[in-house]
Structure 1
Amino acid sequence: MSSLDLDNPAELLGVIAGQLGLSLIGWHATHSEPARHGNLLGFEIELEDADGQRQSQAIFIETAPTEEPRENVLVLQQPGTDSRIAAWVYPHDPSLPALAATVFSDSASLALARLGVDVAAPQLSVLAYRPGKRAVIRVDGGTERVYLKVVRPGKAAAIVGRHNSLLHAGIDVPRVIGWSEDGLIALNELTGVEAQRIVTALDEGFLDRVQELTARLALARIDSPARESLVDRLDWYRNRLVDRMPEQRRRFRKLADSIRQLLSEGRTSEVALVTIHGDLHAGQIFVRDAPNAAGHVISGLLDIDTAGLGDPADDAAAFYAHLLVLAQHLSDARRADAAEHVRTLADAWRRGWIRDGDPGFSARARAISATHFLGHALRQSSPDAAEAMVRLAVTAAR
């Protein structure tokens, strides 16, 4: 067969189209992110059948797929080599078997009914999709708006438990309406708006309220661990960046050494584990206007799949890193004033890392935030955008 070279994917996409009995007319890249092994790439492709009828499909390609056979997955191997790729057509994500039933009205209505939600003709909007990991679908058309979260089978029960634990602790997270073992969770709607959408209207008072939120989270009872800290996968990020930019091998080695040194300084004494969000940022926090008070109050918290026992410096670092990444995106969009406002918020947040009761907090948060920037660098499609993220990592690690 033809080459599996993804540096020039047109030929490979043509082969995949042929396997579907169709011809490739056009394509463009839509997604690129590192996986545990290899990369996960997404493409929007235009296809044509033998009768000249055209259709568009979203296709995803794994560069180092599992050996296990999976339904609705096409596997291609380069003759004479061990090189393999796997491809699937959205929404038939092999890791999210519940997804396909949630993006079409008729099947979604049945899936919702099994969860106790009666919507005869649901209006569906896919709000988020991380291939192989999760999806969020907004459902309108019933008596109230509902959100469907699709996760890997076997993970739903633990996520439901986290929601119930945080609600019991007085944290405003979405209420679980129903769930299934195959990875489908129905949630109600939070009040307010994502803080990230109105970030230029937020001031340092908002940061105080985020700090209060993390303090309340710390008191919640969750016995399972939070998501693994990104800094504990530092070598993986470094190696992937070296694979992508081999000419900068020495730079990435030096940067990783600096991050490790910071982490070592921050972990000279035992770190007290508390309940954390695990991926805290302004897109996860809902706010509303406070009547008879200045500023905004926090009205809810989203995406607590990652919550559990962990280092509070992880949440502090994630929140900081996401603010600076947002500022970079605003700057790239030529919104200089908005970018500067967000950088000012980030600087104010970082000043709160000096803590009498935890002298290593700042060093750990700097190391973790630097690793976040390396992760963002891997997700960038252009060399300039990746370089901007690496520079943020270098600055954080100083």
Structure 2
Amino acid sequence: MGQLAVIRGWKVHSIHHRPGAGVTVGYALTVDRILDDGEHVRGEEYMCASTAHISHPNTPGLVRLTSRGATAWVWRYPGDPELPALHIACSPREMSALLGTPVSVELMSYRPTRRAVVRVRGANGVSYGKVARPPQVDSLAKRHTMLTRAGVSSPGVLLHDSRGLLVIESAVGIPLSNAISHGLKNRASALLFSLTELLDSLPMEAVGLTHRPAWADRCEHYAHAAATALPDERPRCETISRGIRDILARSDSGPIQPVHGDFYEANIFVSPDASHVTGVIDVDSLGPGHRVDDWACLLGHMSVLPHLAPQSYPHVEADLPVWRDMCERMVDPAALCVRTAGVVLSLIAGAKRVDGREWHHDALGRLATAESWLERAYGHL
């Protein structure tokens, strides 16, 4: 290909801010490549610049920039220095060779230096490739295999590549988010019982996996992130954090047992009639924890949907109280509500957008929802 490239245009595509760990910005570029014969070939490319720590600074194509004591690393997608398998997952030729059948690939999501997901289509149907740092992929493969052995409905492993790539089956059913969008109506209670049965089926050996702190356990961190997004609301964010810490010490979180760890509507699949659960995905956080945090994750995410997309989720106001009341009877209600407040607090910063669309109303709605859950928790003490 050409020896010289000229950037003709660029725009910020995404900003990934991890407080205390750096900022990564993705840029969509319009580039003219000048071939040896002088011909110009115009194309679209994607580049990332990051202040995050890079553990593989000698990655081919990685450039280190310094200015006034600050350092940023720049690379062209898919040459992510922390995701050595990304270029494989994004190549139909290489994926076809690995899977032994012709496939096409489509990038679904990409969080620079952290993870990516591609959809894989072939004669055998649809599967998904998950890219992460190699140790994380090894851990994820272990969890999927553990669930498969236990008979839990979750995607099976089709390919595990030690370079940091896992290809898994497609989930059965429809996302719970779709069912919530259409309204659960008289199926809400039965569906929650089915969710309970799924959590009960998680294998006990998962208790031996790595423990990950719940959202409420990191309330100060999430309050800081929320206040960074909404600086005028810092006092409210800090008040929520202090309240969460207070009630955590005064409520019963229940015994340690296997938990999904990220149990919300996007990771749960149900039957087309929403009568029962058909499976779970994104099992990266499977391990020891408190059942109340799985319920808090579910309720917390559900409670912000009307702020995220009010036109798409008109039935949450009717369905959420059914699940909330049922969950309050299964676990300590004060613990449930305060931990749900912690989940919602963690979601406030995520409302911020870089594409120019208005997001303050969404973020403020999430903030008020966290306050409402905290108030309810105090009412249960």
Work out the CA distance in 1 between the residues paired with 2:136 and 2:327.
33
Task: Say which SS state the counterpart of residue 283 (structure 1) adopts.
Answer: helix
Task: Say which SS state the counterpart of residue 348 (structure 2) adopts.
Answer: helix
Task: Say which SS state the counterpart of residue 94 (structure 1) adopts.
Answer: coil
2:51 aligns with 63
Q: For each residue in 1:126-168, what CA deviation from the matched residue of structure 2 results, as whole angstroms up to 9, or x when unmatched?
A: 2333332222222222334332221211122322221122222
Q: 1:177 to 1:42 in 2, by over 3 A?
A: same
Matching of residue 43 in structure 1 with residue 27 in structure 2: yes
2:368 aligns with 391
Q: Which runs of structure 2 are paired with 1:200-349 in the superposition (5 Å)? A: 200-202=182-184, 203-204=187-188, 205-217=190-202, 219=204, 221-267=206-252, 271-289=254-272, 295-331=274-310, 335=311, 338-349=312-323
Q: Which runs of structure 2 are paired with 1:124-143 in the superposition (5 Å)? A: 124-143=105-124
Equivalent residue letter for 1:128? S
RMSD (CA atoms): 2.8
Deviation at 1:215, TM superposition (A): 2.4
Q: Which runs of structure 2 are paired with 1:67-146 in the superposition (5 Å)? A: 69-71=57-59, 72-78=61-67, 81-110=68-97, 112=98, 117-119=99-101, 121-146=102-127
Length, aligned pairs only: 360
Task: Say which SS state the counterpart of residue 280 (structure 1) adopts.
Answer: coil
Deviation at 1:306, TM superposition (A): 1.1
Work out the CA distance in 1 between the residues paired with 2:353 and 2:250.
29
Q: TM-score, normalised to structure 1's length?
A: 0.80
Contact residue 146 and residue 203 of structure 2 kept, 8 A: no
1:3 aligns with none
Q: 1:242 to 1:342 in 2, by over 3 A?
A: closer
Matching of residue 354 in structure 1 with residue 328 in structure 2: yes
**Which protein is richer in strand relative to its size?**
2
Q: 1:380 to 1:367 in 2, by over 3 A?
A: farther
Task: Say which SS state the counterpart of residue 47 (structure 2) adopts.
Answer: strand
Equivalent residue letter for 1:189? S
Q: For each residue in 1:322-357, what CA deviation from the matched residue of structure 2 results, as whole angstroms up to 9, or x when unmatched?
A: 2123222221xxx2xx42312332222222332466
Work out the CA distance in 1 between the residues paired with 2:171 and 2:223.
38
Identity over aligned pairs, percent: 24
Q: 1:359 to 1:195 in 2, by over 3 A?
A: closer
Deviation at 1:272, TM superposition (A): 1.1
Work out the CA distance in 1 between the residues paired with 2:245 and 2:353.
22
Work out the CA distance in 1 between the residues paired with 2:266 and 2:65.
38
Q: Which runs of 5+ in 2 are unaligned?
A: 376-381
Work out the CA distance in 2 between the residues paired with 1:310 and 1:134.
24
Contact residue 57 and residue 81 of structure 2 kept, 8 A: no
Work out the CA distance in 2 between the residues paired with 1:355 and 1:178.
42
Work out the CA distance in 1 between the residues paired with 2:63 and 2:366.
34
Q: Which runs of 5+ in 1 are unaligned?
A: 1-19
